[in-house]
């Protein structure tokens, strides 16, 4: 009798486990079946991929990856399961994006901008596109950066460097577009912006500072920078590009297919979203050798393809502040690396990568002014 009861118990457990596994598989496939049924018969098959659970889709897996220090695990999982084809179907944020994670994302669909977008772009880009136009604001940008860093160094307590850098950017933008520098206005705009997107760039990389040869060749009467100096900082430009490649401000960019599109033998249905994972492209060894290594020298004589490096977007939606952003970074790093150093309160602070990479303490730091003695 004991043996029979034991056998029955084992049999029931096996049945329950088997039923659970069966139900689990069915639930995991329901989402994909539903959307395939709704699409009907197409000339080409849908891309490979996993549509996740009903309603929530892949959101849990995506959030878990991007809130960890290994955000690339989400895309890497798709690659390991479905190959390196570069296009996969997933279900995120209540919509249906297909991630074309490897190359030529701009070729996924033709994107015709609406007139409002064209008008707004012309309005916003006029003062800030190209170094010749930015030269008008060069002294203003330089003053704001120098005064801000000096103020940080004079404080007796640590600052949240990311938030302070964000405020510097707002001061510059407001000065360019509105013509004044009012602290209350800056605070208001900064607050509104934080509601739209609470993210700003930070990178846990110690950029080596050194005295520029640029300084040695410049007349002693010239104490400030100019655009010519910036253009001569070739290594600094490589550091900036490498930081943008490895840090990845945007985890991806959305578009919507206006019609059925055939891509590599797969259909991209009308109305589905295209999500291009910039991280997957920038950290792809096919385009960037040893992608996890921070190596500014990789940009030596490197003619990178537009489709394999797009930190500011691409096409009609290219960020209009690209030139301004790079100019701000160049001026800031020049003065900071020559005259200051950082003392992190918690150098081991964990990094979160959603919606953009940053330390969870917003880079709580003490800024210390450094004096160099000539020998």
Q: Find out whether 123 and 328 touch, Cβ atoms under 8 Å.
A: no
> 195 by DSSP, 3-state: which?
helix
Q: Find out whether 361 and 351 touch, Cβ atoms under 8 Å.
A: no
Helix (H) or strand (E) holding 6: helix 2-39
* CA 34/CA 265 separation, integer angstroms: 22
**pLDDT one-digit tens code per residue, 63-113:** 888 888 788 888 888 888 888 878 888 888 765 555 444 433 333 333 445
- Say if 288 falls within a structural domain: no
Look at the chain and report how many structural domains it folds into: 1
DSSP string covering 233-298:
-HHHHHHHHHHHHHH-S-S-EEEE-SS-EEETTEEE-TT-EEEE-HHHHHT-TTTSSSTTS--GGG
* CA 149/CA 164 separation, integer angstroms: 9
pTM of the model: 0.72
* CA 162/CA 116 separation, integer angstroms: 33
- Say if 188 falls within a structural domain: yes
**pLDDT one-digit tens code per residue, 292-342:** 899 999 998 777 777 888 888 877 777 888 888 899 999 999 899 888 999
Report H helices in 40-130: 59-66, 73-82, 115-125
Q: What is the pLDDT of residue 19?
A: 61
Residue whose structure tokens are 């007139």:
115
Torsion, CA 291, CA 294, CA 300, CA 306, rounded to 10: 50
> 184 by DSSP, 3-state: which?
helix
Alpha-carbon Rg for the chain in angstroms: 26
- Say if 358 falls within a structural domain: yes
- Say if 349 falls within a structural domain: yes
Q: What is the pLDDT of residue 106?
A: 36
* CA 252/CA 88 separation, integer angstroms: 14
pLDDT band at 4 (very low <50, low <70, confident <90, very high): low
- Say if 71 falls within a structural domain: no
Instruction: For residue 49, give the DSSP letter.
Output: B
Higher pLDDT, 22 or 301: 301
Domain ranges, residue 332: 115-247+317-369
Q: Find out whether 162 and 247 touch, Cβ atoms under 8 Å.
A: no
* CA 375/CA 372 separation, integer angstroms: 9
- Say if 305 falls within a structural domain: no
Helix (H) or strand (E) holding 86: none
- Say if 60 falls within a structural domain: no
Mean pLDDT of 27-43: 78
> 357 by DSSP, 3-state: which?
coil
Helix (H) or strand (E) holding 265: none
Whether a cis peptide bond, with omega within 30° of 0, leads into 345 is no
Q: Per-residue pLDDT for 35 more than 60?
A: yes
- Say if 211 falls within a structural domain: yes
């Amino acid at each position: 009798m004991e043996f029979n009861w034991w056998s029955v118990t084992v049999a029931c457990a096996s049945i329950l486990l088997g039923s659970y596994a069966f139900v689990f598989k069915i639930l995991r496939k329901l989402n994909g079946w539903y959307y395939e049924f709704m699409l009907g018969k197409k000339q080409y098959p849908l891309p490979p991929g996993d549509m996740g659970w009903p309603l929530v889709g892949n959101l849990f897996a995506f959030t878990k990856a991007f809130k960890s220090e290994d955000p690339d695990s989400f895309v890497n999982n798709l690659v390991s399961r479905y190959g390196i084809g570069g296009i996969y179907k997933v279900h995120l944020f209540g919509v249906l994006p297909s991630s074309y994670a490897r190359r030529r994302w701009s070729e996924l669909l033709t994107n015709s901008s609406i007139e409002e977008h064209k008008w707004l772009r012309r309005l916003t880009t006029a003062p800030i596109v190209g170094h010749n136009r930015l030269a008008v604001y060069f002294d203003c940008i330089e003053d704001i950066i120098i005064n801000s860093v000096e103020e940080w160094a004079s404080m007796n307590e640590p600052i949240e460097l990311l938030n302070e850098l964000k405020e510097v950017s707002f001061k510059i933008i407001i000065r360019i577009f509105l013509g004044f520098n009012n602290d209350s206005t800056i605070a208001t705009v900064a607050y509104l912006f934080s509601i739209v997107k609470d993210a700003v760039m930070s990178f846990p990389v110690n950029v080596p500072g050194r005295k520029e040869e640029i300084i040695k060749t410049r007349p002693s009467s010239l104490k400030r920078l100019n655009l010519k100096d910036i253009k001569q900082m070739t290594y600094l430009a490589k550091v900036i590009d490498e930081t943008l490649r490895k840090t990845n401000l945007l985890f991806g960019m959305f578009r919507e297919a206006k019609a059925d599109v055939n891509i590599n033998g797969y259909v991209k249905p009308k109305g589905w979203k295209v999500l291009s994972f910039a991280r997957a492209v920038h950290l792809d060894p096919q385009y960037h050798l040893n992608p996890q290594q921070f190596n500014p020298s990789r940009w030596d004589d490197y003619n990178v393809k537009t489709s394999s490096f797009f930190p500011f977007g691409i096409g009609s939606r290219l960020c209009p502040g690209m030139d301004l952003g790079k100019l701000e970074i160049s001026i800031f790093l020049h003065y900071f690396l020559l005259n200051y150093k950082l003392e992190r309160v918690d150098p081991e602070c964990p990094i979160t990568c959603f919606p953009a990479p940053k330390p969870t303490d917003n880079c709580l730091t003490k800024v210390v002014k450094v004096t160099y003695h000539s020998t």
